[in-house]
Copies of this chain bind each other. A is one copy, B any other.
Amino acid sequence: MRKAQYTMQDIANQLGISKSTVSRALKNHPDISQETKDAVNKLAEEMDYQPNSLALSLRHKKSFVIGIIVPEIVHDFFANVISGVQSVAYEEGYNVMICISNESPEQEEVDVKAMYSSRVDGLLISLTKETKKLKHIESIVNKGVPLVMFDRVSENINVSKVITDDFQGAFMATDHLVKQGCKKIVHLSGPDNLSISSLRLNGYKDALSKNNIPVDDNLIIPCPEGTLSEATKTMKSIINSNLEFDGIFANNDVTAIGAMNALKELGKKVPEDISIVGFGDWRLSQLLDPPLSSIEQSGINIGVESAKLLFKQIKEEENDKEFTPITKVVQNNLIERKSSIK
């Protein structure tokens, strides 16, 4: 038995009243008599009436949908961000439309247009690695759609941004190792062209300085690819070169794991001989043997903070107020398993 898709008009017809009365009854308008309300509600229930939010959105010029565009989704960080965004959106009574640009600037452009076409009330976006042109972003911003960029942001546009504090995270990680008694800490650094690499490197250097430990350039080992095999290979050659060190701060979780594998393979014990802290996914870290300490790029927090900022902006927009773009910096969390620290 298939029911049709009823509208208010259908209810009105069956009850011999006008659709405006139905509309008012449904939203419990004080002018409507109780018996009319009862009749309408009863029939609506029977018919399993559900409002058409397309019509609503068109009417109100407001969709109660926010959009989010991420470069990829099969990645704990972005999945966490989305999760955080969702939770805030639900509280505000908004739905979330998600697009995955798949690291393609062309797709990103299409996505932004699609988002505007469906008249999202606000947009969250993390840019593709290759995004250079920002015309599509400017376009939607010019139309007055509140927009917040997160994590992969661009400096060439004046919009609100939410980013993680890579410097602070790196500082925290290095400081943590020092506090554990490490004196000679290796840093597995990331690719030069990414700003996160230099931020993390600087955090590492700064933590050493603050602890009166001289920075030794020999301890800074580049791992530009950031792959497991590269890290493993690099670490092995470092160990074999008899470089002395008692701790490792890895630029990401994969290099941290690679380092651990290399150490174990060459008979070193983690964390008894060498302590490791890496940036990245702590869930992964916890499954390792032994679990690693890790600096979590707190995806959920990024999501929550971005969404909050967006809604703030949406509300200002509704009240025709000026909104000055803000850059929010979210702190990283050091996830630590005590047992894994020497």
* Assembled-state Cα–Cα distance A80/B74 (Å): 6
Given contact pairs A83-B100, A114-B95, A142 touches B1 in the complex (Cβ within 8 A)? yes
Contact status A264-B289, CB under 8 Å: yes
Cβ-based interface call for A63 (8 A)? yes
Contact status A260-B284, CB under 8 Å: no
Given contact pairs A79-B74, A99-B95, A287-B284, A54 touches B58 in the complex (Cβ within 8 A)? yes
| Chain B residues whose CB sits within 8 angstroms of the CB of A51 once the complex forms | 117
Contact status B54-A63, CB under 8 Å: yes
Contact status B118-A53, CB under 8 Å: yes
Count identical subunits in the complex.
2
CB neighbors of B among A73-100 (8 A)? 73-76, 79-80, 82-83, 86, 90, 95-100
| Chain B residues whose CB sits within 8 angstroms of the CB of A53 once the complex forms | 114, 117-119
| Chain B residues whose CB sits within 8 angstroms of the CB of A286 once the complex forms | 228
| Chain B residues whose CB sits within 8 angstroms of the CB of A284 once the complex forms | 284, 287
Interface residues on A, range: 35 or more
Counting chain B CB atoms within 10 Å of each CB, the highest count among A55, A99, A117, A260 belongs to A117
Q: Which residue of B lies closest to A110 (CB)?
A: B90
Contact status A5-B143, CB under 8 Å: yes
Cβ-based interface call for A133 (8 A)? no
Contact status A96-B98, CB under 8 Å: yes
Closest Cβ of chain B: how far from A203's Cβ, in Å?
25
Cβ-based interface call for A52 (8 A)? yes
Contact status A260-B289, CB under 8 Å: yes
Contact status B83-A79, CB under 8 Å: no
Contact status A73-B65, CB under 8 Å: no
Counting chain B CB atoms within 10 Å of each CB, the highest count among A50, A57, A65, A99 belongs to A50
| Chain B residues whose CB sits within 8 angstroms of the CB of A119 once the complex forms | 52-54
Closest Cβ of chain B: how far from A303's Cβ, in Å?
11
| Chain B residues whose CB sits within 8 angstroms of the CB of A261 once the complex forms | 289
Cβ-based interface call for A2 (8 A)? yes
| Chain B residues whose CB sits within 8 angstroms of the CB of A228 once the complex forms | 286-287
CB neighbors of B among A143-202 (8 A)? 143-144
Contact status B95-A95, CB under 8 Å: no
* Assembled-state Cα–Cα distance A265/B118 (Å): 56
* Assembled-state Cα–Cα distance A165/B6 (Å): 39
Interface 0/1 of A1-22, CB less than 8 Å to B: 1111100000000000000000
Interface 0/1 of A261-293, CB less than 8 Å to B: 100110000000000000000001011110000
Contact status B113-A50, CB under 8 Å: yes
Counting chain B CB atoms within 10 Å of each CB, the highest count among A63, A143, A284, A289 belongs to A289
Interchain residue pairs with CB less than 8 A apart (18): A5-B143, A50-B116, A50-B117, A51-B117, A52-B58, A52-B117, A53-B119, A54-B54, A54-B63, A74-B76, A74-B79, A86-B99, A86-B100, A96-B97, A228-B286, A265-B289, A284-B284, A288-B288
Binding site for B on A (CB under 8 A): 1-5, 48, 50-55, 57-58, 63, 65, 72-76, 79-80, 82-83, 86, 90, 95-100, 107, 113-114, 116-119, 139, 142-144, 228, 254, 257, 260-261, 264-265, 284, 286-289
Excluding A52-B58, A52-B119, A284-B287, 8 further A-B contacts by CB distance (< 8 Å) are: A51-B117, A73-B79, A74-B79, A74-B80, A97-B97, A98-B98, A228-B287, A265-B289
